[in-house]
């Protein structure tokens, strides 16, 4: 081993020991310096973080270089341990100090609150992300109001109280929905009704594309004096910690609650979740149709129906997985075989020159008659 190589190794060892000592010292108490706010966005890679530090002037010179920063991550096992959030760091800090802060000392964290959550679910997420006590969680629930806490992605201080977070979510709601309230007022839609209906649509729709159709169906049922008969309102009554949206059983439809839209006409008294903008817009701009019923199959596809008879058929076909229910004669006497039944309900493709349709008047106890015409489609 030559003299220069020995010197290099000795210097490396000394630097390593110095870095370790400084990190241990500063991990006990980060240095007090004039600091700036450094934000790491969601889904930012480690390499992107290093480039951001360099471009913002936190890593410069040979002692404060990206290489020294990477060496610090390797020495202390910090690779892939830097989390998105906001941090207080200074351009006077050494790279190992910055690395230590980015791993251990965020002062803000990202919190994602999706559309369709009830207040208790939001509170659970916030408690986990912000390390809240039960007292802070209860404070949030006391201040917040179902339906009016805007679902969004927030960068929140770790020292925020439940009241402060609740106010932040409510302020964001007022900011985002103000123009929609004006549009609703022009159509004589009360604010409370707007948010209640939007909450139903948010829970009922499998995606945003379905929302205007479902909104139109709910509006039409309400205007015709029909009960909404929506499972999600019962789920709101039945929900409890660990299972906020239970599967509704037939006997649950007899529960005496103003949220039971199988027993009581009209909308429930309050929202059942916190809806997003798409659901609110759907209430104001519903899709016009002749449908009064709908259901979703196991893949989330919506199947609307104009009459209760058609709806019963959809239940047999899409919920009970009974495609042969479309044939009044049964499989033994079906002239075309079961594949033809599947074509008739749209589960298989057929020559476009074949016309399939059903006659609801022939529906009886879960069967319907398929009539076949070989004329070309008009």
Note the pTM of the prediction, 2 decimals.
Answer: 0.78
Instruction: Give the pLDDT score at 28.
Output: 45
Give the Cα separation of 274 and 267 in Å (integer): 16
Pairwise CA distance, residues 93 & 33, whole Å: 8
Confidence of residue 62 (pLDDT cuts 50, 70, 90): confident
| pLDDT, average across residues 342-356 | 47
C-alpha distances out from residue 330 to 23, 136, 326, 366, Å: 78, 62, 9, 12
End-to-end CA distance of the chain: 91
- Counting every residue written for the chain, the total comes to 378
Residue 356 confidence (pLDDT): 37
Residue 92 has pLDDT above 70, yes or no: yes
Using DSSP, state whether 358 is helix, strand or coil. strand
**3-state SS assignment for residue 157:** strand
Distance (Å, rounded) from C-alpha 203 to C-alpha 198? 9
- CA angle 273/251/246 to nearest 5° reads 35
Mean pLDDT of 239-246: 95
Range 83-103 average pLDDT: 95
Q: Where are the domains of the chain?
A: 3-106, 119-296, 317-373
């Amino acid at each position: 081993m030559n003299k220069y190589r020995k010197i290099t190794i000795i210097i490396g060892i000394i630097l390593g020991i110095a870095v370790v000592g400084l990190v241990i010292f500063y991990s006990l108490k980060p240095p007090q310096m004039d600091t700036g706010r450094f934000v790491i966005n969601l889904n930012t890679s480690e390499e992107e973080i290093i480039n951001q530090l360099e471009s913002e002037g936190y890593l410069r010179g040979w002692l404060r270089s990206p290489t020294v920063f990477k060496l610090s991550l390797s020495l202390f096992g910090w690779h892939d341990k830097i989390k998105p959030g906001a941090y207080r760091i200074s351009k006077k800090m050494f790279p190992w100090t910055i690395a230590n802060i980015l791993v251990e000392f965020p002062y803000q964290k990202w919190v994602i609150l999706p559309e369709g959550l009830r207040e208790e679910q939001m509170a659970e997420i916030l408690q986990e992300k912000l390390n809240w006590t039960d007292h802070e969680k209860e404070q949030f629930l006391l201040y917040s109001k179902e339906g009016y806490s805007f679902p969004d992605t927030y960068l929140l201080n770790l020292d925020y109280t439940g009241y402060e977070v609740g106010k932040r979510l409510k302020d964001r709601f007022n900011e985002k929905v103000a123009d929609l309230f004006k549009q609703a007022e022009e159509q004589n839609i009360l604010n409370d009704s707007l948010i209640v209906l939007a909450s139903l649509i948010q829970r009922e729709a499998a995606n945003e594309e379905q929302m205007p159709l479902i909104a139109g169906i709910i509006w039409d049922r309400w205007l015709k004096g029909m009960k909404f008969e929506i499972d999600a309102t019962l789920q709101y009554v039945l929900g409890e910690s660990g299972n906020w949206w239970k599967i509704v059983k037939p006997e649950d439809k007899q529960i005496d609650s103003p949220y039971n839209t199988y027993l009581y006409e009209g909308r429930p008294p309050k929202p059942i979740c916190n809806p997003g903008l798409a659901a609110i817009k759907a209430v104001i701009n519903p899709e016009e149709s002749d449908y009064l019923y709908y259901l979703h199959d196991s893949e989330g596809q919506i199947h609307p129906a104009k009459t209760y008879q058609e709806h019963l058929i959809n239940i047999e076909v899409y919920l009970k997985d009974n495609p042969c229910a479309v044939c009044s004669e049964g499989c033994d006497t079906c002239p075309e075989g079961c594949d033809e039944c599947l074509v008739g309900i749209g589960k298989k493709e057929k020559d476009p020159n074949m016309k399939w349709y059903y006659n609801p008047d022939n529906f009886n106890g879960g069967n319907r008659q398929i009539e076949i015409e070989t004329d070309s489609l008009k």
